[in-house]
Each structure stands twice: as C-alpha cells, then as structure tokens.
A and B are shown apart, each in its own frame.
Chain A
Amino acid sequence: AQTVTQSQPEMSVQEAETVTLSCTYDTSESDYYLFWYKQPPSRQMILVIRQEAYKQQNATENRFSVNFQKAAKSFSLKISDSQLGDAAMYFCAYRTGANSKLTFGKGITLSVRP
C-alpha cells in the first residue's frame, strides 16, 4: 500500500523567515506525482505546488518550492518569506500515474508568528 508520512504535526515560523515542511512516501512505482495542498482556517483546500517524479528539476511557485529527493522518497516544501496568510494546515499527497486516487498524509499545522 502506498503511504505518505508527515512526521511533524506542528511547526512554527517567524514572519519573513523560511520554513521547510517534510514529507516522505513509500512506493515501488516509477511513475507518480506529488502534491502539496494548503488548508487555511476557512477549510478550503488549495493546491500549492505539484511535481512529476520523472522531472529532476524541483518545482517552484513564487515563494513556494520543493526539495524532491527521489532516491530518499522525500518531498519537502519550503516556504520563503513567510507571511501571516501562510498559517494553515499543509497536506502532502501522492498519486501513481495509472491511478485516479490521491493518498494524503495526515497534515502539518503551520503557525506564523508576527
């Protein structure tokens, strides 16, 4: 079974600083995709960033970037210049190429200190 592990339940960062959220996954597949979703207090799930496993280059979206280590099966999210609006729960998710289903980690709650 595919599993996604987010080992840190909570993290905190000072406004304007950088924080890294960790995620590891377990798979025997070679074709897969990885995602980070954000869930603010409004409860609305929003896609932050995604990565195809076959691409060696790490994905970036403005202040958000990933560190994709395929051999280590690690997919961490880096948030630069943290803002108060980044405070949310963040979920790592995985999907194989042939599968329509996403498997989510348990999430990490990020707080941002002003």
Chain B
Amino acid sequence: NAGVTQTPKFRVLKTGQSMTLLCAQDMNHEYMYWYRQDPGMGLRLIHYSVGEGTTAKGEVPDGYNVSRLKKQNFLLGLESAAPSQTSVYFCASSMGGGIYEQYFGPGTRLTVT
C-alpha cells in the first residue's frame, strides 16, 4: 500500500498562474482533506470531502477549488495563484470521523512569486 500520495512534491508558480494538486489514497477511505501549513499557524483546513462526489469548505477556502470525482482521488485547484498561497499543502484521508486516524501525504511545497 502506498497510503496517501501527493503530486507534485514541489512547484513554483508565477502570480496569476493556475495549477492542480493531486491527492490519491489506496486505503478505500471515505473522507479526504486538504490542509495548508504556514509557520506559526499549524494546519488549517481548506476543503474536505466525506464521500465521492461531495465537497465542503473548511476554515480557509478562498482562492481554492476542489473535486472528488473518484473515491480515491481528491484534487485541489488554484485558479489564479497569489503570493499569499505560498505554503506547504497536505492531503489526508480517514475511514471516518470520531476516533479514526487521519493519514497524511508527504506534502507539496508551493511557492508563488
């Protein structure tokens, strides 16, 4: 099992460019999440999904869109990148809520210049 994988691992964008981050999990998990991590801020939830075809906003959703067309994939899109979106992005998945553990991907470091 690969667990949770993220593509790409690093990316540099110019302001205004767009990109999509791909998250894939092979654990048949229902729930998937996108976080961003900034120094001194912990992990903040961007968007999440509780099943195929569903998405919901998290704490910091502005400037991002997501799609969950297949259960195993969760895509995060930036339509017009801004320097404020420079961050490390983590994807996670879990079997459910409650006591279930979230499994994290290795992260994507994105720099917007």
User: A residues within 8 Å of B by Cβ?
Assistant: 9, 33, 35, 42-47, 50, 52, 91, 95, 97-102, 104-107
Contacts and interface: CB of A to CB of B under 8 A. Distances in A.
B58 A101 contact: yes
A107 B48 contact: no
A97 to B, nearest CB: 6
A59 B28 CA distance: 27
Size category of the B interface is 20 to 34
B42 A107 contact: yes
Contacts of B92: 45
A17 B94 CA distance: 34
A29 B47 CA distance: 23
**Minimum-distance CB pairs A-B, first 10:** A45-B104, A100-B97, A106-B42, A104-B43, A104-B42, A47-B101, A43-B107, A33-B99, A107-B42, A100-B31
Given A33-B99, A106-B41, 20 more contacts: A43-B88, A43-B106, A44-B106, A44-B107, A45-B92, A45-B102, A46-B104, A47-B102, A52-B99, A91-B42, A97-B97, A97-B98, A100-B94, A100-B97, A101-B45, A101-B48, A101-B58, A102-B45, A102-B102, A104-B44
Contact of A95 (B44, B50, B98, B107): B98
B32 to A, nearest CB: 10
Given A91-B42, A101-B45, A106-B42, A44 B97 contact: no
B59 to A, nearest CB: 8
Contacts of A35: 101
